[in-house]
């Protein structure tokens, strides 16, 4: 019976249809935290095995995705985390997605990860951010019910084949001599647990300790050890293992969280209401609906700080230890103290966000602070809507160790330690989505390595996950790293609408982390879109004929050339529905994909141009770069970082430049265009001479 319930539950979770209340009922009936039928071990003595293919340390957003991904690729996996109850906990903001981050959620979902479906289950307010810009940079986002999110993640993990969960704290990584056939100075062999000092072996491991590695909590002038309020830090032994035993370079970063406010004490009538989208858009490609019905969604509210807020911050700086420290915090999610110090005299936005369907708390986004609790209350009450507010949990800051991610390879394996993978905040990132994306990729590669399969990497031309990892391992971090669409040079191709086509087929055929049912759906969509594009290309008419056929479309009458239906779809005001009603016999069967086809039509020419540029780069790899280029004054769009690297290394060829740390495809295109454009002049004058000199210097002639 237990097995049948487990299978049924898992199947339903994979393929739910939210509008069927029956699933809610089944979940209510069968959901039991730590249900005994699942392989969960509370103490080390309980656990069934002494050896696993993969051990994942930490049950946050990176760890849960890593454990699930390793199990999906076929590895016998153990997830060890300090508290089973906090698996999938949202440490800070009750929200998922956003600009750049939403793209990551879609990509994790396309590789069969958990967070997209968890977001659809737990979301209480859905919106697409950046709608005024093109669909390539739209940001799917949701406010979440914390409890529902945590429960969903735990239910998924508990039902995952090949995965065991152990409650415990890891104090030491066990290592031995490296395998001589592979690069590296050590080889990971297992872990030691704090409680009783028992050891468990594995040849692959993913470390995802988040904000817990030597974590310290700050509130006013009080500092205490901790990784998150109510949770102890990772034991000192683990930091020692990484630094002293393995010789890894670490750094220190910080972040903070706002006080949680009792909703009943807030005068919401004094704040501006922010409604969700009328029709929620699911994160997951498998879901047609979200669990929350459109009319059941909760609003957010917008209010602003006053001069009184600034005064309290400035007057109490001496009582605020966290803010006095040099440690770098998240630039794009700053505390109210940092905002006031950076932009004095301004009023700052504060979003009042629901914490869940039944929660009586509000999360004041924008008011992250580390003042003493009495001053936090005084500060809140300077805001009109919060003048009677009461705090349930005060805000606090956390400082933690991270491992400099340039010590990792693109598979997220530590270069000098065979079998050791790192993911999430431990790599210097911030945010659930960044953690989930790395966790999934580290889990895939840890699983593959344990099964003697080659580790894989994702290119930045293919995915935001590739951009994130390439940035981390190529450039490292100097402050908590968060994703933005501007980090992706190929963002018009890496859209939130097409992550399934980019990743699910590869995820099934090559990587092995995608289920057959998701693969089949992605292939169905891919084939249907291809057929629809072919059909649209085959319909071609003059603009006059199109105007006759479709009525008042915005195509110039003077346009004498023929336009295909696909080209016409690029125009403002032309919809796929209009084309389908004009040519029902060949287009109406594709109406299901009308929005995707419109987006595809808009971006296709640009994406094709980018593909041609990439091909050009490959063909031009041997193109010489003049040795006397002044990279700092080059009149092209290159970042300061890239100019510094080029100036320092002075690569001889374009191919050598592409392999430099931190070089992006966009920078290479800029360089290629510049050298091609100026090449002729230079060859006529000094170019040849310089190339000869370079060869001589290299001993080439």
Ligand X SMILES: Cc1cc2nc3c(=O)[nH]c(=O)nc-3n(C[C@H](O)[C@H](O)[C@H](O)COP(=O)(O)OP(=O)(O)OC[C@H]3O[C@@H](n4cnc5c(N)ncnc54)[C@H](O)[C@@H]3O)c2cc1C
- Residue 80 in the binding site for ligand X (CB under 6 A): yes
* Closer Cβ to ligand X, 286 or 483, answer by number: 483
- Residue 370 in the binding site for ligand X (CB under 6 A): no
Among 135, 210, 476, 687, binds ligand X (CB under 6 A): 210
Contact, 616 vs 672, CB < 8 A?
Answer: yes
Q: Report the C-alpha gap between 122 and 297 in whole angstroms.
A: 11
* Closer Cβ to ligand X, 85 or 575, answer by number: 85
In degrees and rounded to multiples of 5, residue 462 shows phi and psi of -105, -30
* Closer Cβ to ligand X, 228 or 518, answer by number: 228
* Closer Cβ to ligand X, 380 or 398, answer by number: 398
- Residue 127 in the binding site for ligand X (CB under 6 A): no
Q: Report the C-alpha gap between 596 and 285 in whole angstroms.
A: 12
The CA-CA-CA angle for residues 608, 490, 139, to 5°, reads 120
- Residue 164 in the binding site for ligand X (CB under 6 A): no
- Residue 424 in the binding site for ligand X (CB under 6 A): yes
Taking the CB of residue 694, how many other CB atoms lie within 10 A of it?
18
- Nearest distance, CB of residue 236 and ligand X, angstroms: 10
Q: Report the C-alpha gap between 199 and 63 in whole angstroms.
A: 20
Q: Report the C-alpha gap between 153 and 90 in whole angstroms.
A: 11
- Nearest distance, CB of residue 340 and ligand X, angstroms: 17
142 Cβ contact partners less than 8 Å away, ≥ 6 residues apart: 95, 96, 97, 119, 120, 122, 123, 124, 125, 126, 127, 280, 283, 290
- Residue 86 in the binding site for ligand X (CB under 6 A): yes
- Nearest distance, CB of residue 364 and ligand X, angstroms: 12
629 Cβ contact partners less than 8 Å away, ≥ 6 residues apart: 646, 650
* Closer Cβ to ligand X, 420 or 669, answer by number: 420
The DSSP call for residue 98 is -
Q: Report the C-alpha gap between 466 and 437 in whole angstroms.
A: 9
- Residue 113 in the binding site for ligand X (CB under 6 A): no
- Nearest distance, CB of residue 248 and ligand X, angstroms: 15
Q: Report the C-alpha gap between 245 and 230 in whole angstroms.
A: 29
* Closer Cβ to ligand X, 95 or 110, answer by number: 95
* Closer Cβ to ligand X, 256 or 651, answer by number: 256
Q: Report the C-alpha gap between 576 and 558 in whole angstroms.
A: 23
- Residue 121 in the binding site for ligand X (CB under 6 A): no
**Strand runs labelled E in 404-513:** 417-418, 420-422
- Nearest distance, CB of residue 502 and ligand X, angstroms: 24
- Residue 257 in the binding site for ligand X (CB under 6 A): yes
- Residue 431 in the binding site for ligand X (CB under 6 A): yes
* Closer Cβ to ligand X, 393 or 541, answer by number: 393
DSSP track, 223-247: EEE-SBTTBPPBPHHHHHIIIIIT-
Interface with ligand X in residues 435-464 (CB under 6 A) = 435
Pick from 607, 687, 619: nearest CA to 654: 619
Residues in contact with ligand X, shown as a per-residue x/- string from 25 to 64 under the rule CB under 6 A: --------------------------------xxxxxxx-
Identify which range of 13-21, 68-76, 206-214, 597-605 contacts ligand X by CB under 6 A: 206-214
DSSP track, 297-315: PPPEEEEE--HHHHHHHHH
Interface with ligand X in residues 275-334 (CB under 6 A) = 330, 333
Among 95, 209, 214, 216, binds ligand X (CB under 6 A): 209
Radius of gyration of the chain (CA): 27
User: Binding residues for ligand X, per CB under 6 A?
Assistant: 57-63, 80-82, 86, 91-92, 169-170, 208-212, 227-228, 231, 234, 238, 255-257, 330, 333, 368, 398, 424-425, 430-432, 435
């Amino acid at each position: 019976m237990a097995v049948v319930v487990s299978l049924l539950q898992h199947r339903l979770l994979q393929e739910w249809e939210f509008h069927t209340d029956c699933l809610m009922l089944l979940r209510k009936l069968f959901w039991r935290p730590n249900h005994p039928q699942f392989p969960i071990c509370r103490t080390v003595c309980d656990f069934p095995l002494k050896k696993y293919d993969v051990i994942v340390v930490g049950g946050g957003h990176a760890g849960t995705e890593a454990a699930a991904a390793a199990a999906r690729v076929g590895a016998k996996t153990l997830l060890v985390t300090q508290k089973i109850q906090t698996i999938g906990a949202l440490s800070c903001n009750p929200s998922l997605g956003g600009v750049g981050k939403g793209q990551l959620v879609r990509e994790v979902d396309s590789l069969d990860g958990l967070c997209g479906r968890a977001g659809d289950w737990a979301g209480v307010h859905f919106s697409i951010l950046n709608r005024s810009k093109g669909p390539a940079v739209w940001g799917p986002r949701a406010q979440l019910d914390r409890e529902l999110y945590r429960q969903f993640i735990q239910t998924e993990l508990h039902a995952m084949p090949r995965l065991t969960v152990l409650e415990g704290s890891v104090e030491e990584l066990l290592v031995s001599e490296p395998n001589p056939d592979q690069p590296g100075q050590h080889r990971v062999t297992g872990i030691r647990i704090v409680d009783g000092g028992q050891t468990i072996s594995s040849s692959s491991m993913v470390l995802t300790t988040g904000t817990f590695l030597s974590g310290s909590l700050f509130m006013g002038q009080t500092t205490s050890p901790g990784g998150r309020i109510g949770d102890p830090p990772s034991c000192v032994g683990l930091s020692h293992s990484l630094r002293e035993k393995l010789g890894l370079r670490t750094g220190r970063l910080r972040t903070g969280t706002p006080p949680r406010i009792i909703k009943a004490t807030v005068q919401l009538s004094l704040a501006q209401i922010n409604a969700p989208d009328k029709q929620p858009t699911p994160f997951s490609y498998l879901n047609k609906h979200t669990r929350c019905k459109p009319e059941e969604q909760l609003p957010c509210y917008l209010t602003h700080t006053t001069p009184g807020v600034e005064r309290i911050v400035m007057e109490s700086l001496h009582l605020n230890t966290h803010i006095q420290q040099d440690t770098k915090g998240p630039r794009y999610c700053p505390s109210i103290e940092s905002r006031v110090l950076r932009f004095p005299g301004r009023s700052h936005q504060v979003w009042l966000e629901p914490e869940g369907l039944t929660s009586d708390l509000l999360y004041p986004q924008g008011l992250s602070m580390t003042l003493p609790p009495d001053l936090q209350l005084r500060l809140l009450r300077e805001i009109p809507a919060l003048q009677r507010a009461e705090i349930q949990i005060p805000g606090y800051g956390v400082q933690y160790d991270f491992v400099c991610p340039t010590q990792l390879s693109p598979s997220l394996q530590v270069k000098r330690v065979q079998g050791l993978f790192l993911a999430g905040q431990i790599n210097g990132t911030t945010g659930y989505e960044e953690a989930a994306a790395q966790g999934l990729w580290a889990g895939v590669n840890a699983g593959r390595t344990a099964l003697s399969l080659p580790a894989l990497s994702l290119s930045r031309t293919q995915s935001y996950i590739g951009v994130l990892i390439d940035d981390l391992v190529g450039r490292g971090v100097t402050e908590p790293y968060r994703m933005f669409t501007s980090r992706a040079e190929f963002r018009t191709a890496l859209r939130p609408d097409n992550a399934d086509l980019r990743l699910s087929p590869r995820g099934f055929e090559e990587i092995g982390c995608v289920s057959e049912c998701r693969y089949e759906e992605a292939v169905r969509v891919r084939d249907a879109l291809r057929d629809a594009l072919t059909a649209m290309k085959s319909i071609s008419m003059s603009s006059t004929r199109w105007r006759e056929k479709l009525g008042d479309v915005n195509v110039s009458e003077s346009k004498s050339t023929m336009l295909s239906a696909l080209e016409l779809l690029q125009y403002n005001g032309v919809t796929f529905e209009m084309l389908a009603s004009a040519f029902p016999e060949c287009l109406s069967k594709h109406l299901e994909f009308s929005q995707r086809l419109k987006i595809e039509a808009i971006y296709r020419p640009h994406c094709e141009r980018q593909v041609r540029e990439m091909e050009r780069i490959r063909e031009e790899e041997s193109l010489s770069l003049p040795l006397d280029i002044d990279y700092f004054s080059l009149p092209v769009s290159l970042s300061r970082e890239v100019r510094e690297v080029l100036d320092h290394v002075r690569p001889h060829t374009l191919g050598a430049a592409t392999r430099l740390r931190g070089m992006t495809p966009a920078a290479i295109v800029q360089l290629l265009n510049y050298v091609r454009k100026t090449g002729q002049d230079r060859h006529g004058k000094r170019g040849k001479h310089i190339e000869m000199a370079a060869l001589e210097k290299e001993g080439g002639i």
